[in-house]
Chain A
Amino acid sequence: MSQLVSTIINNDSVEFACEAHETLLEVLRDRLGLTGAKEGCGTGDCGACSVILDGALVCSCLVLGAEAQDRNIETVEGMADGAKLHPLQTKFLEHAALQCGICTPGFLIAAKALLTNNPDPTEEEIRYALAGNLCRCTGYDKIVRAVQDAAKQMRRA
């Protein structure tokens, strides 16, 4: 049965219809054209589909589209301010913290969720916070350095 859902995505009011079994990830990608969130595993293990739902970092593959009614969703598409990249995005580029890029939107959103709650995390805290995101290309060091550098810049701003 089709569900009509109104919600807020990246500060925009959005309405969509979806089937009851469709995940939020499927809705974002296939119905709304927001293809930043990626499907890696579809079972909540890899974090490539990470979004922020009412302030909480979640895997959008483990949320039903119908659950989004009256919620507030942040995706990677909402991170940049027009043409101006978010400091995390800039630092990921500067530190070459990506190769194939599939995991990157998930890492960016998870790092954003971390820095919102903890603007000055230790390396250990960063590694814990990003433990739900898997990267099979770069290893994690460059990603951790990029997050540390972005955090530093954001604290100065």
Chain B
Amino acid sequence: MEYTAPQTTKDAVAILAQAKGSAHVLAGGSDLLVRMKGGFIEPDLVVDIKRIKNLHQIKHNANSIMIGAAVSCAQMGANKRLKKAWPGVVEAANLIGSDQIQGRCTIAGNLCNASPAADSVPALIAAGARVKIAGPKGRRTLAAEKVAVAPGKTCLRKGEIVEYIELPKRVARSADAYLRFIPRTEMDIAVVSAGVNLTLDRKGVITKARVALGAVAPTALLVKAAAKAIIGSSLDEQALEKLALACSAACRPIDDKRGTVEYRTEVAAVLAQRAAKIAYSRAGGK
């Protein structure tokens, strides 16, 4: 195996594009090194992107917030402006692992690892996050929900790396929330998770909504029917009931020791309702 730590995105892309054999991008390493250790992958080349200075920044622009691919989840938690604008995204990122893991793990890595149970991914999808990708043929942008295509598989092509995750500017009377269910109190993999992002009008009626579910399908899901179920409502009992039905209907989970199909399908609905209530209240709804 070879290790290299280029200082620019351009160099990283060129190295990955020319690489023979299996090449892997190293951001925080909290998934990659575990997979190497377990013998699941044997990279010929590891390209460490942590020497690329730009990728360590959280940039607050006029119309968006850009989170570099090398920004650790601990860094996100320490960024007050980010936390205020996107509390759901930050709470999802901060749920990943212990302090030791937080100091290393990244949301770009979480996305590219393509686990159906990745904590930050439903929150990013609900947020309408866009993924900025650099590759040998230039740059492109994808919606967060388009990156993973199957467990452990992304649509990134040879030579492509994620540079930034872009979150929209936070508009008035809007907020997000993320919840997951695990059998312990901390540090476990989501059995089910839900991210919700809402925008309200002055009367507290929901005008825009995005609802995403994790660990209930091969990839995290954007559930448009669930959003539709609550748009136009003030999140009353009837709207919450419709939200629950839409979420359960979207679930296609596996049966395993951590949760049965029936269990996951029901809990997804409950978590989406609770996350919606939190987002609604954060957005100023009463």
| A contact residues vs B (CB 8 Å cutoff) | 1, 3, 19-21, 23, 42-44, 47, 50, 53, 56-59, 61-64, 66-67, 69, 110, 113-114, 128-129, 131-133
Contacts and interface: CB of A to CB of B under 8 A. Distances in A.
Contacts of B48: 64, 66-67
Q: Which 7 A-B pairs have the closest CB atoms?
A: A132-B98, A56-B103, A20-B3, A132-B100, A66-B3, A21-B1, A59-B100
Contact of A64 (B29, B74, B186): B29
B46 interface: yes
Interface in B30-78: 30, 33-34, 36-38, 46, 48, 50, 72, 74
Given A1-B2, A64-B46, A67-B50, A113 B33 contact: no
B114 to A, nearest CB: 19
B29 A47 contact: no
Interface residues of B, number: 27
Contacts of A3: 3
Nearest to A67: B48
Contacts, number: 87
Contacts of B104: 56, 58-59, 62-63
Given A44-B97, A69-B5, A56 B74 contact: yes
B187 interface: yes
A29 to B, nearest CB: 15
B255 interface: no
A64 B97 contact: no
A110 B28 CA distance: 19
B3 A62 contact: no
B100 A64 contact: no
B1 A110 contact: no
Contacts of A57: 99-100, 103
A13 to B, nearest CB: 20
Interface string B17-28: 000000000101
